[in-house]
Structure 1
Amino acid sequence: MNKTFGSTLLVSGTMIGAGMLAMPLTSAGIGLTFTIFLLIVLWFLLTYSALLFVEAYQTIESDAGIGSLSALYFGRLGRFISTVALLVFLYALLAAYVTGGGGLLASILPPIATAETTSQLSIVMFTLIFGASIVIGTKTVDGLNRPLFLIMLSTLVVVLFLLLKEVKMDNLMAMPIDKALILSASPVFFTSFGFHGSIPSLNKYLGGNIKALRTSILVGSLITLCGYILWQLGTHGVLTQSVFLQILQDEPTLNGLVSATKQVTGSDIISGAVKLFSALALITSFLGVALGLFECLEDLLHRVCKFKAGRATLGLFTFVPPLLFALFYPKGFILALGYAGQIFAFYAVVLPAALVWKVRKLHPNLPYRVSGGSALLLISALLGVIITSIPFVIKAGYLPAVVG
């Protein structure tokens, strides 16, 4: 029960992070009503696909990574495709978290030489401090995540209470600048439910307890959805579309959102609470995603390459690439999320649908089976393909570019 509770917080904590904080920026031109519709659709789709992973994990040992699971049903090619997709997704997501976390840390540190130097040192400090817990072990991550997550939830309640008092109905009723933006924004919104890379780590941590893993996913994702809806209600109600668009022109980052909140409300308390919540959300997501990436690399190196890398070496492989991205592209917050969302659509929707299609043919009598049948498998896979292709359609000029 204790591990189930911790896993639930890891699921929710992984999701409530950079994707959530980027939501008000990427949904600037959509309006509240259509934003909530998009959130509910994506929550259903991604919770369903996560449960498909749970169904598939009944057929393999609990410490196996996603590459090993794919290899079991699709051979070496399956391992290669799923591993590459997961690595690109997790590295892109981790790069966004390191960039956002470093930016927030830089805003509270005293200036060190130039602004650029302060930013770079903040990025390195953020990575070293919170990356150390990943190298130590999952139990340490769980122990650190629990108090941080509970403080974050408490802060979110305070932020929402303060924001909701400032809500204006005219802002909530704003219509989309272009309804096609709903499609354009979906790859970035996808990352808001992006905990799937941590499922192998959670399954290993829970010792293959499928019931506990299923409970953690359902409860954790539902907590997240409720938080997202309230967060959107608060931010969309306080900030007008024109203010959102101005943020994106001036500073399309988390600091920009904090500054805009202070400017509109005139309250240092509200902007301070938003900044604290943003920092905690980034940290908890960083921990969940980094843990998933660490376990993926361990599975790849130990099982496939037969290279017995120690935890310190795995830590270097995990954190050096996103750290370099953050140092060279310090304003690449939304850029990294966009790439992550595109890859995530394949990894989190198409891959589990394909795996379960094969699993059900070979193991028709498994104890746990996700509802919906073959028709829902096909529909979810099709939606994954559509969302994966959206950035290419935008680039071709058939859909408007998402704001931000």
Structure 2
Amino acid sequence: MNTKLLGSALIISGTALGAGMLAIPMVLAQFGLMYGTMLMLMIWFGTTYSALLLLEATIKSGGGLGLNSIARKTLGKGGQLLTNGLLYALLICLLMAYILGAADLLVQAASAMGISLTFMQSQIAFTLLSGAIVACGTGVIDKLNRLLFFVMLVSLLMTLTVLLPTFSFENLGQVGNPDHVGLIKTSAVLFTSFGFMVVIPSLVSYNTEASDKQLRNMVIIGSLIPLACYLCWLFAVVGNLPADKLTQFSSVSELMSGFEHDAPWVSGFLSLFTGLALLTSFFGVAMSLFNQNKDMFKQNRLVTYVLTFILPLLGAILAADQFLSVLAYAGIILVFLAVFVPLAMVYKVRLANTLVERYAAEGGNIMMMFGLAFGGFLLASQVI
């Protein structure tokens, strides 16, 4: 895999990492390590397969900067309108969640340096500066993301190292909340934590010289990295905190303060990691929305910049302290966009029986049925 494809795989990983690193301990750790790990593995498998379906649809339809073009080519104008509506709702919800999480961390960092910064000021500053980087294009994001991802992994390793002396194997068997129905209800948030599919059309357009097999490997490698990070982080949280604390988190700052008594150094490393994870996620999702707007409205960079970031910023300002709620809403939208829409796209392109020599997601009709059942499970988890 060349450096461009590796960078693209890291964009996929960075898009998934972020909200998930913050949300998973808050929603999953309380149900115990065994059940949490099993549910996470199932969600990862389903999301990765759905991403491969979208990759197949993107390749066979001839690609495009965003889902707008792919939906038009595969599903017609009606499908295009539905896909665009779902995509905008999803990306705006995700960007709102990232802005909320990043603003929380930015206020803490500014306070540590003796700077007084309100929550709204931190939201505006983060959105404007990070958005300006996104407007520079996929190539700039790729190169910057490689550096950020390296620093992020180092900070995660340092966090795990600092937590190692206080790690308790006895804690791994603890279950703070035995409610299995409650565990299933976390599926939408978990699914959102692997929600990298939105960047696939942009990355296929970016890697025009890559073979179908290389693109497939890019998606799989990109999905495996966040899975490994999430599992390590879940082990660290469950192994270091008592069961009663695992049910109390509702914000990023509360999560980090839970470690400060026994591992005071962890706050700095964890702040660095979560900040970079949110930033890389923001870059990936914002890149998708920026390219979607560029593909749809055909405007210059400045107009596209304003169109991309004005609604998420306003939404984040109005939805302060609603980090997990916004993620849950995004998860429900993502089920339709990232599971059912790619299934419909692939069904249409396979039915047309064109470009059969191009990449097709493995498993044939049996896996298509699995994808349908997976989407049904995610929806059912929200209406139990």
Q: Deviations over 1:60-99 (max 9, x none)?
A: 3333421221222221110011111111111101100001
Paired residue for 1:326? 316
- Indicate conservation of the 8 Å contact 2:339/2:375, yes or no: yes
Work out the percentage of aligned pairs sharing the same amino acid: 36
CA distance in 2, matches of 1:113, 1:11: 35
Amino acid paired to 1:390? S
Amino acid paired to 1:66? L
CA distance in 2, matches of 1:111, 1:155: 19
CA distance in 1, matches of 2:163, 2:335: 32
What aligned pairs does 1:2-401 form with structure 2 within 5 A after superposition? 2-110=3-111, 118-175=118-175, 176-207=177-208, 209=210, 210-247=212-249, 252-263=250-261, 265=262, 267-301=263-297, 308-363=298-353, 365-391=356-382, 393=383, 399=384
- Indicate conservation of the 8 Å contact 2:67/2:84, yes or no: yes
SS of 1:171's partner is helix
Q: Deviations over 1:185-231 (max 9, x none)?
A: 00000111111111111111112633332121111111111111111
Query: How far off is 1:297 after superposition?
Result: 1.6
Amino acid paired to 1:259? S
Q: Deviations over 1:211-268 (max 9, x none)?
A: 3321211111111111111110001111122112233xxxx111111111113x2x33
CA separation of 1:206/1:235 partners in 2, compared to 1, >3 Å: closer, same or farther? same
CA distance in 2, matches of 1:197, 1:143: 19
Query: How far off is 1:321 after superposition?
Result: 1.1
CA distance in 1, matches of 2:71, 2:101: 32
- Indicate conservation of the 8 Å contact 2:66/2:288, yes or no: no
SS of 1:136's partner is coil
CA distance in 2, matches of 1:186, 1:318: 28
Q: Deviations over 1:144-191 (max 9, x none)?
A: 111111000111111112223322223210234211122100000011
CA distance in 2, matches of 1:94, 1:241: 31
CA distance in 1, matches of 2:59, 2:129: 35
SS of 1:180's partner is helix
CA distance in 1, matches of 2:230, 2:194: 10
CA separation of 1:130/1:64 partners in 2, compared to 1, >3 Å: closer, same or farther? closer
CA distance in 2, matches of 1:95, 1:151: 24
Query: How far off is 1:110 after superposition?
Result: 3.6
CA distance in 2, matches of 1:165, 1:341: 36
Query: How far off is 1:34 after superposition?
Result: 0.8
Query: How far off is 1:40 after superposition?
Result: 0.7
CA distance in 1, matches of 2:43, 2:111: 40
Q: Deviations over 1:39-62 (max 9, x none)?
A: 111111111111111111222333
CA distance in 2, matches of 1:58, 1:114: 49
Q: Deviations over 1:260-283 (max 9, x none)?
A: 1113x2x33112111111111101
Amino acid paired to 2:79? G
Q: Deviations over 1:320-343 (max 9, x none)?
A: 111112212221111111111111
Q: CA RMSD in A?
A: 1.9
CA separation of 1:88/1:220 partners in 2, compared to 1, >3 Å: closer, same or farther? same
Amino acid paired to 2:146? R
Amino acid paired to 1:131? G
SS of 2:361's partner is coil
CA distance in 1, matches of 2:62, 2:364: 25
Structure 2 gap segments, 5+ residues each: none
CA distance in 1, matches of 2:77, 2:325: 31
Paired residue for 1:304? none
CA distance in 1, matches of 2:165, 2:38: 24
Paired residue for 1:396? none
- Indicate conservation of the 8 Å contact 1:206/1:212, yes or no: no
CA distance in 2, matches of 1:38, 1:58: 30
Structure 1 gap segments, 5+ residues each: 302-307, 394-398, 400-404
How many residues matched? 380
Runs of 4+ more than 4 Å apart:
111-115
Query: How far off is 1:114 after superposition?
Result: 12
- Indicate conservation of the 8 Å contact 1:61/1:208, yes or no: no
What TM-score results when the alignment is normalised by the length of structure 2? 0.94
CA distance in 2, matches of 1:323, 1:114: 22
